[in-house]
Amino acid sequence: MNTPPSTCSSGKSTPLKKDNDRSRMQSFALPVDPADLQLGDPLPPNDPHAISVHLPTWNDSLGWVTKDPSVLQAMKTGYPRFFIPRVVDQLGRRLARHLGVGDDGAPMMFASRTWAEMFRRYMGEELLAGGRVWGVRWDGGAVDSDDDETGTCLWLAVVVGEPKGAEVSKARRFWQHTGYGISSRRAVFWLDRASFLNRGSCREGHESANEIQQNGFHLDGDTCGGASVDQAKQDISDRIAGLLSDGDMLLRKDQPERIQGLHWGAEIARSPTWLFLGKFRCNPSTYPRCCGRLTCDRFLYVDTIKVLERVHNCQVTVYGYSYADTERFERRLHNGEQFHAVFTEFTGNPLLQSPHLERLAFLRKSFSFVLVVDDTVGTAACLRVLRYCDVVCTSLTKMFSGKCNVMGGSLGLNPHSTLYTSLREGLHNRQQRQKDVWYWEDVLVMAENCQSFEERIQVASENALAVVELVQESLVVKKVYYPSLGDTRRYDAYKRPGAGYGFLLSVTFKKKEEAVAFYNGLNVAKGPSLGTNFTLCCAYTLLAHYNELDRAAEFGVEECLVRISVGVEEKGWLLGRVKGALEAASLV
């Protein structure tokens, strides 16, 4: 078996100092050879909270999106927004029986009354058992308070309908698009420790709420095992704020901004940062005056658009990344059309484009819309974009964590935005109401995982550039998408000194058969998600846009596009696998 050099099977990440040898990074790679993984195995393997799943062949990916029974039965887990963790479903059915609701339908679990009520409105009362949502306290009692948002209760809705029926499918779309469902760690904690769920069982060690508190577990999320959850949240926030708010990041308030060129102020200002669970950054109520018409730069991540349209009933217009597209949007503004917000990604996924951020920054001031930039792919370790927008949002699930076993997100505000005060007040009030919905064990895992974020980004970026150079040489490759290729001026204008071009790349092939052969022959982990410490490949368009392939093609996203999220493995080990996949493709 050919395993990545110097792998570590402990599964625990440790902080890395800048003078450590690069080989230390290999402790973050997969502890097994990807060739030994089977269809449906969790990624990372043997982790009960893994958030990706191995799809080793192209047909496996196709089977997943077409709901092939043989593929679905093999799934031990999946990306939590696309695949309700089995332990979460188990808890939902146990709670439904406890409340006398029955478990014939599909239980949907939420950590917040607000989210549960949003789900009820989305579904319609007639499709829910009892026509309502149910709150459950830690002791098993029903919640009768209208303002409980502490995160110490669970909220249950049971959808009435067949497992494959339209009603359950609609419910699962809400779960997928919003990310508001509870985590697997929270479900395990309740199943293992809530005494009312374990009466009459032979399970040892389950404690009452008081006993758990005496042993160091505080159900309100304050402390756990001597570690301060509040401190962990603060550490995460401080790390993100520091990345967003370098000393040269923001202009002084008394210094006018120059739209053309880079003109940095000397004042050090730290961006206030909020942590959240789910696609909170896509909730228009997060931002002032953002519940109407919105625009999104071209091919924004699919669920960002869908949550805005389907859950929040926004009218969304999609534009391209070209200068002509930006001019077309500007003409509509000058003609009197009003847009409340612009959402964009820097860089884009999966085509790795860079938006005309300077121009959008100028337009945001002239026409008073909120400019939201998602830097999940670009990362704050490589790019500095905050000064040009009002909000920077990040999926911490991806490279910030890297371990592929915990979910979360963040919002950072530009202190010099004209909307700063209203944005800050709105976010502060919402956070106070829902301060513990991000489960405390997930917080602690995220705080541990993120310690080596900057170092991992640097190594993954170097590896990605090497992969790009190798793939470009192949005669079977049609096009490689990566920020270092072509005209890089737009990206370079925001790139940090010494930073790379990121960990993500996409490849298209001259023939579909070549794409399939490359995917099947690439001996790395394969499945949904990105930004993992280990290299992760996916048949992106199949997984994300199978039901809208024509629409994806209109925006340049080909059906057979292969996306590679490059990890921190030893470079020679990785390039050898890519070379082998290219050779397989060339034999088609």
Q: What is the pTM of this model?
A: 0.86
Return d(Cα 486, Cα 484) in angstroms, integer.
7
What is the bridge-based pairing of β-strands 536-538 and 525-526? parallel
User: What is the CA angle 77-158-172, rounded to 5?
Assistant: 45
**Beta pairing class for 562-565 and 293-297:** unpaired
Type and span of the H or E element at 563: strand 562-565
pLDDT at 352: 95
pLDDT of residue 24: 66
Statement: residue 298 has pLDDT above 90? no
Give the range with max mean pLDDT: 29-43, 276-290, 300-314.
29-43
Local confidence band at 200 (pLDDT 50, 70, 90 cut-offs): very low
Reply yes or no on whether the pLDDT at 9 is more than 60. Answer: no
Structure confidence at residue 432 as a pLDDT band (50, 70, 90): low
The arrangement of strands across the sheet holding 370-374 comes to 273-276, 409-413, 391-395, 370-374, 341-345, 293-297, 315-319
pLDDT > 60? residue 10: no
**Residue 336 and residue 11: Cα distance in Å, rounded?**
56
Q: What is the pLDDT of residue 131?
A: 87
Tokens 């996916």 -> residue: 538
Sorted by where each begins, the domain ranges of the chain are 86-197, 233-449
pLDDT of 425 reads 85
Q: Sorting pLDDT into bands at 50, 70 and 90, what band is 145?
A: low
Cα–Cα distance, 68 to 86 (Å, whole number) = 18
The C-alpha angle with vertex 564 and arms to 478 and 518, in degrees rounded to 5, equals 55
Cβ atoms < 10 Å from Cβ of 33? 14
**Quick one: pLDDT at residue 95?**
94
Residues of the chain with pLDDT > 70, as a percent, come to 78
DSSP letter assigned to residue 384: -
Spatial CA neighbour of 260 closest among 582, 101, 490, 584 = 490
Predicted confidence band of residue 149 (pLDDT cuts 50, 70, 90): low
The three-state DSSP-derived secondary structure of 352-372 is CCCCCHHHHHHHHHHHCCEEE
CA distance 535 to 574: 8
For residues 295-299, average pLDDT: 58
- 142 DSSP 8-state letter: B
Which pLDDT score is estimated for 264? 27
| Lowest-pLDDT range of 37-51, 133-147, 178-192, 387-401 | 133-147
248-282 pLDDT per residue, tens: 443 333 333 322 222 222 223 466 777 776 655 55
- State the Cα–Cα distance between residues 474 and 197, nearest whole angstrom: 58
One-letter amino acid of 277: L
Instruction: Decide: 257 and 280 in contact? Cβ < 8 Å.
Output: no
Residue 538: band (very low, low, confident or very high) from pLDDT cuts 50, 70, 90: very high
More confident residue, 433 or 65: 65
State pLDDT tens for residues 502-519.
Answer: 999 999 999 999 999 999
In the prediction, which pLDDT does 82 show?
84
Q: How high is the pLDDT of residue 278?
A: 62
Give me the helices (H) in 69-112, please.
69-74, 86-99
State the alpha helices, DSSP H only, in 133-271. Answer: 166-178, 184-193, 209-214, 229-244
Q: Which amino acid is at 276?
A: F
Angle at 390 between CA 384 and CA 392, to 5 degrees: 50
Distance CA 48, CA 298 (A): 36
Which helix (H) or strand (E) element contains residue 325?
helix 323-334
- State how far the Cα of 317 lies from the Cα of 217, in Å rounded to an integer: 47
For 394, the 3-state DSSP assignment is strand
369, 296 Cβ separation under 8 angstroms: no
Supply 198's token pair: 């374990």
pLDDT at 12: 34
Query: Is the previous residue joined to 15 through a cis bond, with omega within 30 degrees of 0?
Result: no
CATH class of 233-449: alpha beta
Cα–Cα dist 195/203, whole Å = 10
Identify the DSSP state of 483. Answer: T
- At residue 126, the pLDDT reads 81
* Side chain identity, residue 258: R
Q: Check whether 2 has a pLDDT greater than 50.
A: no
Q: At a CB cut-off of 8 Å and minimum separation 6, what does 264 contact?
A: 248, 249, 251
Block residue for tokens 């990310």: 179
For residue range 70-116, list pLDDT tens digits in order: 999 999 999 888 889 999 999 999 999 999 987 678 999 998 888 89
The tokens for 41 are 């195995």
| pLDDT value of position 252 | 32
Whether 116 contacts 123, CB under 8 Å? no
pLDDT reported for residue 105: 85
Average pLDDT, integer, range 526-549: 95
Other CB atoms within a 10 A radius of the CB of residue 471 amount to 22
Which pLDDT band holds residue 555 (cuts at 50, 70, 90)? Answer: confident
Residue 17 has pLDDT above 60, yes or no: no
Q: How would residue 227 be classed by pLDDT, with cut points 50, 70 and 90?
A: low
444 alpha-carbon distance from chain centroid:
18
Q: Over pLDDT 90: what percentage of the chain?
A: 53
Rounded-to-integer distance, Cα 407 and Cα 49, Å: 10
Kindly indicate the confidence band of residue 222, based on its pLDDT and cuts at 50, 70 and 90. Answer: very low
The pLDDT-based confidence of 211 (bands split at 50, 70, 90) is very low
The 10s digit of each residue's pLDDT in 383-411 is 999 999 999 999 999 999 999 999 999 98
| Distance between CA atoms of residues 407 and 330, nearest Å | 36
Q: What is residue 539's predicted lDDT score, i.e. its pLDDT?
A: 98
Of the candidates 573, 301, 275, the one whose C-alpha atom is nearest the C-alpha of residue 437 is 275
The two tokens of residue 275 are 């942590």
Task: Check residue 405 and give its pLDDT.
Answer: 96
pLDDT at 102: 73
Q: What is the pLDDT at residue 267?
A: 29
Residue whose C-alpha is closest to residue 544's, from 530, 523, 534: 530
Question: How many residues appear in the chain?
Answer: 588
pLDDT at 30 over 80: no
**C-alpha distances in Å from residue 186, one per residue of 85, 194, 252, 438:** 11, 11, 43, 10
Strand segments (E) across 357-489: 370-374, 391-395, 409-413, 477-481
> Any idea what DSSP says for residue 496?
P
| Residue 524 CB neighbours (<10 A) | 25
Q: What is the pLDDT of residue 123?
A: 92
